[in-house]
Amino acid sequence: MTQRRYLQLDVFADRPGAGNPLAVVLDTDGLDAATMQAIARWSDRPETTFVFAPVTAGADYRIRMFAPDREVPFAGHPSIGTAYAVLQAGMAGLTDGRIVQEGMTGLLPLQVDDHDGQRSIAVRTPTARVAQVGRADDTTLAAALRGLPVGGLPPALMDGGRRWWVAELASEAGLRSATPDWAAIAELAARSDSMGVLAFARATGGDHDLAVRAFVGAGTQFEDAASGAANAVLAAWLRENDALPARDGRYVASQGREVGFDARLHLRVDEDGEIWSGGRVCPIVSGTIDW
């Protein structure tokens, strides 16, 4: 057996238990895809990431991401948590406040900001596009949104590596009390080759601008605690409609409260229209695994 540095982190969290869990393996010599999948299944976190030396000029490290049942091309919270782990381990350094990740979607920069001893990391997400705007006669979409009090913007299918239907609800209270129709959401996900429905509402106060719930209908149905990639495609849809919560392109989303978490995601649309999704990282477990 080989001892490998292993961490578990909460991403988009300022305290243990608030964010989206992630496992990171820093020592990857001798690991093939089947073994990485086995470790991810054993870790049983939403994703487990594995850090390798980069093979492309300009990258600081290379990443592979695995859910318990499959490899994942890109996700926001694994990217942010892995950058945190790489920096803490001294495996790479910052250049002008940035570190560059290499993965299946190419090279992605991450911006690192340190204020008052607190570190926040944001990843520039893959460019998202509008794949389809929901039609009134789409019975599959209507079934998935049944019982959800819709808001001003029409629902839309957004493609940012992973595809999500984004749907505005009329109120934060309506969103937080909503009960999803899992069978209908699963059918919508299958028919549109999407993850499911990302429902959101304008916040009525507190420390966030939007409340968000992500209903995953693809594969095992569950509500995601906090998704950086899903929130990024939502930001792209809001920008498309000139409907961002703040004129400077920065806002905070609250996600996960309904499933026992309390994440805060910081979104930013920069002057070039690029979407940055980020937040804080809380380390939980640091040690080694024998594998």
d(CA 251, CA 51): 30
141 and 257 both lie in a single domain: yes
110 and 133 both lie in a single domain: no
6: tokens are 């292993």
Q: DSSP assignment of 163-194, as one string?
A: EEEEEEBS-HHHHHH----HHHHHHHHHHHTS
Flag whether pLDDT at 85 surpasses 90.
yes
For residues 183-203, give the mean pLDDT: 97
77 and 141 both lie in a single domain: no
For residues 218-244, give the mean pLDDT: 96
The answer to whether the Cα torsion of 72, 76, 77, 83 is positive or negative is positive
108 and 196 both lie in a single domain: no
184 and 88 both lie in a single domain: no
Q: DSSP assignment of 37-82, as one string?
A: HHHHHHH-SS-EEEEE---STT-SEEEEEEETTEEES--HHHHHHH
Q: Which residue has the tokens 């393996």?
A: 25
Confidence of residue 188 (pLDDT cuts 50, 70, 90): very high
Convert the pLDDT of each residue in 217-230 to its tens digit: 998 899 999 999 99
Q: Are 168 and 156 in contact (CB under 8 A)?
A: no
pTM: 0.94
87 and 121 both lie in a single domain: yes
d(CA 262, CA 254): 7
172 included as an active-site residue? no
210 and 244 both lie in a single domain: yes
SS (H, E, C) 142-168: HHHCCCCCECCCCCEEEEECEEEEEEE
219 and 197 both lie in a single domain: yes
Convert the pLDDT of each residue in 87-133 to its tens digit: 999 999 999 999 999 999 999 999 999 988 889 999 999 999 999 99
- Beta strand 263-269 with 106-115: parallel, antiparallel or unpaired? unpaired
Confidence of residue 204 (pLDDT cuts 50, 70, 90): confident
For residues 129-145, give the mean pLDDT: 96
Confidence of residue 30 (pLDDT cuts 50, 70, 90): very high
Provide the percentage of residues in the chain whose pLDDT is more than 90: 93
Q: Are 197 and 188 in contact (CB under 8 A)?
A: yes
From residue 61, alpha-carbon distances to 33, 55, 109, 149, 155 in Å are 18, 8, 11, 44, 37
264 and 211 both lie in a single domain: yes
Look at residue 18 in the predicted model and tell me its pLDDT: 97
> Can you give the CATH number for the domain in which 13 is found?
3.10.310.10
Convert the pLDDT of each residue in 254-291 to its tens digit: 999 999 999 999 999 999 999 999 999 999 999 999 99
pLDDT mean across residues, the chain? 96
71 and 108 both lie in a single domain: yes
104 and 236 both lie in a single domain: no
Question: What contacts 235, CB < 8 A, 6 or more positions away?
Answer: 244, 267, 269, 275, 277
- In 3D space, the residue among 202, 257, 249, 267 whose CA is nearest the CA of residue 226 turns out to be 257
163 and 54 both lie in a single domain: no
Q: Are 134 and 127 in contact (CB under 8 A)?
A: no
Q: Are 124 and 110 in contact (CB under 8 A)?
A: yes
d(CA 167, CA 154): 7
Flag whether pLDDT at 1 surpasses 80.
no
Number of domains in the chain: 2
Range of the domain at 192: 129-273
